Amino acid sequence: MNQKRWTMRISGRVQGVYYRAATEKSATGLGVTGYALNLPDGRVEVVAEAEPDRLKALHQWCLQGPPAARVDDIDVTESAATGEFTRFAIRR
């Protein structure tokens, strides 16, 4: 396996629009593990681990998000996967 970890910080209207829940559904469908978390500054942080093609698919989904969201920017950092996640979850 060639797993990677992407940490994505999504800016825009992404809190209070079911962004985390919709991301959880999308990530689970793609076989991606990790979490989505609301940040105090209004962004959503998505930490995802999977093969690069699955991470790219999740990134493409995150660019749109759920219908009520407006994504202005996504900052992505890549690192080595840790294997610490067994599923994708919402963190509070």
For 63-72, write each residue's pLDDT tens digit: 999 999 999 9
CA-CA distance, 88 to 42, in Å (whole number)? 21
Amino acid at 70: R
**All domains in the chain, ordered by first residue:** 4-83 (3.30.70.100)
Rounded to two decimals, the pTM is 0.97
9, 20, 43, 54: which one is catalytic? 20
Residue-wise pLDDT for 39-70, tens only, equals 999 999 999 999 999 999 999 999 999 999 99
Active site residue 2: no
Cβ density class 9-33: b for 16+ within 10 Å, e for less? bbbbebbebbbbebbbebbeebebb
Residue 80: how many other CB atoms lie within 10 Å: 9
Active site residue 20: yes
